[in-house]
């Protein structure tokens, strides 16, 4: 619940929760130090230009996109008509974690999202693991979303000028192509917007979010005309196991609601606005997902979803008997999915910005251009990496890898809420998750439940990713961490927690 009468933490407050002497892996960064450093980078500072509306649009922009426009086609064969329950299951998992995110975002309004929350509560090693998961969540999901964008671009080109980009240039190796050029292009376009500044990017995103909401409402208006109750006759053909398996994949659809928390150092009033933006965006997105899924399954027999691309556009064409509506939806999807690339890419750069400021990744990620107030080098490096990844890796592999990284990070956020309540019970909070300890505990267990249904190959990729991350941390971060390199008097200004 919101607490308007409580003042946010300030830099002047006494710092507590510093590192534990003798164990560098458990050293913690005081909340007050995190807040005091807000916006500070190498050579400049981030600008506070975002209000609650822009923050909400960032979260919706990062969430509402490929999950419903593309991944729905892969999820329906796993659950059948009960895919609507899969969306609800994934939404509940996101809800409990969103409540934890909202509480921590109101208490620790910084750009690092769950990485910074873990640094303040669970120690440097766990913070690094969380940050490394966020790189998997944000960086890889940019690539996954970009792959889905190319599918709808081809649908749009086919419906307007009767040509499509050849498979060799519109699909990655393994999916019948050589190089996914559209995926690279949309990432580079997002990079250009981000280099212009946070305010300018937020304006562009708001317009794109409006387009995607109108597009989905249009789909429901046309799709409902083809609704057949018989398509729901065998509601749960694959049982609860199918619902759960589809829910694990569809959790990808909810990735991004936490994007507002990465804007903590560019928000005008972060303690008040971040919790509101996170919760409002999740409510809007969940309602749209369930509505669209219900209409889609009602308009098309669930077994025909197997292997379909640009699913919603195909349903529009089938129901209306003409290609106009499907082409119009494809145009909306092209704009909609581009906004996801823009906002998720934004979140990735801000997380690396925070990690760089703490010394855990190279300083180049923390340099801020004094003219635009943006981390330019960071943005270019991340964009090129994500663009090449999108052009070379199939969508399915990227989706599952992104989901497991996100679920792991969310689980850590729920733990962080419990730890911070116990170690800093008197710290001012502008939002508190309801039902006491129940919400973060349920959030943790829901994340674990969803993770268990991901495939063995996904767990293998995750294990390899974590191993690479630990090698980088022990080879670079542990020695260059600012908490490690600071002078003894500076690091000892905060007393260790008992």
Q: What single-letter DSSP state applies at residue 65?
A: S
Tell me the C-alpha distance between 324 and 31, whole Å.
54
Q: What is the pLDDT of residue 70?
A: 66
Tell me the C-alpha distance between 198 and 267, whole Å.
10
From first to last of its 498 residues, the chain has per-residue pLDDT tens of 444 434 344 333 333 444 444 567 778 777 777 777 766 666 666 677 778 888 888 888 777 766 677 677 778 888 888 888 888 888 888 888 888 888 887 777 777 778 888 888 888 888 888 888 888 777 777 777 777 777 778 878 877 888 788 877 777 666 666 778 888 888 888 888 888 777 777 788 888 888 888 888 888 888 888 888 888 888 888 888 888 888 877 776 777 777 777 777 777 887 788 888 888 888 888 888 888 888 988 888 888 777 665 677 778 888 888 778 878 877 887 887 788 888 888 888 888 888 888 888 888 888 887 877 788 889 999 888 888 877 776 655 566 667 777 788 888 888 888 888 888 887 777 778 888 788 899 989 888 887 877 777 778 888 888 899 899 989 888 888 887 776 434 333 343 343
Diameter of the chain measured on Cα atoms: 74
Q: How many helices (H) and strands (E) does the chain have?
A: 22, 4
- 3-state secondary structure (DSSP) of residue 415: helix
What single string gives the DSSP state of each residue in 18-38?
EPPTT-GGG----HHHHHHTT
Residues 419/477, Cβ–Cβ less than 8 Å:
no
Residues 435/95, Cβ–Cβ less than 8 Å:
no
Helix, strand, coil shares of the chain as percentages rounded to 5? 70, 5, 25
Tell me the C-alpha distance between 165 and 172, whole Å.
13
Q: What is the pLDDT of residue 8?
A: 40
Q: What is the pLDDT of residue 471?
A: 92
Residues contacting residue 141 through CB under 8 Å, at least 6 positions apart: 252, 255, 256, 344, 398, 402, 406
Closest CA to 378 of 336, 347, 412: 347
Q: DSSP E strands: which ranges in 29-166? A: 40-41, 44-45
- Both tokens assigned to 103: 């509480």
Residues contacting residue 223 through CB under 8 Å, at least 6 positions apart: 295, 296, 298, 299, 312, 315, 316, 319
Q: What is the pLDDT of residue 310?
A: 63
């Amino acid at each position: 619940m919101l607490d308007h009468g409580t003042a946010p933490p300030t830099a002047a407050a006494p710092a507590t929760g510093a590192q534990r002497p003798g164990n560098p892996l458990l050293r913690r960064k005081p909340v007050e130090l995190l807040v005091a450093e807000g916006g500070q980078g190498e050579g400049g500072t981030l600008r506070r230009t975002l209000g609650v509306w822009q923050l909400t649009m960032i979260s919706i922009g990062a969430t509402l996109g490929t999950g419903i426009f593309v991944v729905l086609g892969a999820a329906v064969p796993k659950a059948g008509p009960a895919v609507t329950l899969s969306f609800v299951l994934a939404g509940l998992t996101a809800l409990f974690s969103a409540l934890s995110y909202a509480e921590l975002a109101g208490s620790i309004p910084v750009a690092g999202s769950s990485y910074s929350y873990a640094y303040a509560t669970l120690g440097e090693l766990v913070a690094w693991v969380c940050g490394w998961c966020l790189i998997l969540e944000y960086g890889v999901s940019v690539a996954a979303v970009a792959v889905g964008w190319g599918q709808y671009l081809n649908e749009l080109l086919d419906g307007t000028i009767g040509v499509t980009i050849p498979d060799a240039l519109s699909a990655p190796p393994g999916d019948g192509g050589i190089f996914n050029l559209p995926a690279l292009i949309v990432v580079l376009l997002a990079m250009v917007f981000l280099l212009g500044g946070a305010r300018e990017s937020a304006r562009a995103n708001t317009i794109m979010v409006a387009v995607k909401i109108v597009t989905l409402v249009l789909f429901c208006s046309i799709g409902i005309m083809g609704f057949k109750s018989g398509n729901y006759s065998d509601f749960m053909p694959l049982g609860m196991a199918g619902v759960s398996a589809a829910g694990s994949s569809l959790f990808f659809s909810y990735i991004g609601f936490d994007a507002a928390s990465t804007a903590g150092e560019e928000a005008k009033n972060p303690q008040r606005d971040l919790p509101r933006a996170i919760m409002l965006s999740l409510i809007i997105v969940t309602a749209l997902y369930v509505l669209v899924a219900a209409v889609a399954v009602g308009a098309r027999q669930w077994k025909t979803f197997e292997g379909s691309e640009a699913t919603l556009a195909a349903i529009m064409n089938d129901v209306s008997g003409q290609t106009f509506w499907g082409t119009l939806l494809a145009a909306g999807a092209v704009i909609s999915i581009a906004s996801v690339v823009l906002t998720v890419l934004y979140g990735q750069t801000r997380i690396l910005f925070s990690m760089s400021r703490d010394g855990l990744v190279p300083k180049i990620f923390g340099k801020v251009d004094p003219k635009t107030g943006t981390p330019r080098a960071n943005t270019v490096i991340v964009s090129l990496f994500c663009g090449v990844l999108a052009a070379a890796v199939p969508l399915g592999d990227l989706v599952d890898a992104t989901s497991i990284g996100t679920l792991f990070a969310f689980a850590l956020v729920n733990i962080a809420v419990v730890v911070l309540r116990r170690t800093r019970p008197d710290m001012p909070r502008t939002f508190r998750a309801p039902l006491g300890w129940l919400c973060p505990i349920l959030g943790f267990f829901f994340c674990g439940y969803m993770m268990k249904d991901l495939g063995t190959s996904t767990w293998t990729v995750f294990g390899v990713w974590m191993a690479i991350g630990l090698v980088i941390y022990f080879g670079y971060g542990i020695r260059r961490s600012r908490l490690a390199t600071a002078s003894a008097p500076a690091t000892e200004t905060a007393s260790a927690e008992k």
